[in-house]
Amino acid sequence: MKMAVADSVVVLDFETSGLSPEYGDRAIEIGAVLVEHGVIVDRFQKLMNPGFRISRFIESYTGITNEMLKGQASCEAVMAEFSEFIAGHNIVAHNAAFDRRFLDFELKRANRAFQGECCCSLLVSRRVYQDSPNHKLKTLVSHAGIAETGSFHRALADAEMTAHLWMSMINRIGEQYKIPMILFDQLCELSRVDKLYAHRYLSSLANRC
């Protein structure tokens, strides 16, 4: 198992055949980046064959076609490999509840499990970027002045841009509140603080510095 550095996190994104594994939906692509000390140092991207044809809507939405999924490894094989990539790390995702459901579902089918903590960049963004028109990933990337690294709705590109959004929010907190280093656990706590009290919470962190 890899040893995680203190200031590290894996940012991940799933493309799936639909919204709910409970209704038979499966992952079709996983993309993830390992961020250490504010720098992307490793990447993981794999298409996976769900064992059935995906809908035209998903083909259009993601750009991933049934033809592209032919001959790809099974979800179980890809997730067994991915479990090694995330071992020992905490994870971040945009609307993390969605990705966490698929992560747990697919890992279970691969006889694996994830033991780390999970934080949602969407919830953090609702507190840090309260001036954004909405909190879709694409809007936030534009709002924060982040360069697009690929096509939206492809797993690795979305994971990379979510990682840059994550770092952008950390930098914004640092600049506004003079907090030189905010910890993963503190960002998780921020995501749970009532939106109206986010400023108070961050000010309290600044006072402790």
Partner DNA sequence: TGCCAGGCCCTCTTTAGGGCCTT
Residues that bind DNA (CB under 7 A): 13-16, 18-20, 22-25, 55-58, 61-62, 94-95, 97-98, 101, 122-123, 126-127, 134-138, 153, 158, 191, 194-196
Q: How far is the CB of 3 from DNA (least distance, A)?
A: 30
| Least gap, CB of 96 to DNA (angstroms) | 9
In whole angstroms, the minimum distance from the beta carbon of 21 to DNA comes to 9
Task: Return the number of other C-beta atoms located less than 10 Å from residue 181's C-beta.
Answer: 9
Q: How far is the CB of 209 from DNA (least distance, A)?
A: 24
Residue 2 or 196: which CB sits closer to DNA? 196
Q: Nearest distance from residue 90's CB to DNA, in Å? A: 17
Residue placing its CB nearer to DNA in the complex, 123 or 180: 123
Q: Which is nearer to DNA, 4 or 205 (CB)?
A: 205
Roughly what angle, to the nearest 10 degrees, separates helices 155-177 and 121-128? 40
Q: For residues 97 and 183, which CB has a smaller minimum distance to DNA in the complex?
A: 97
Nearer to DNA, 65 or 209 (CB): 65
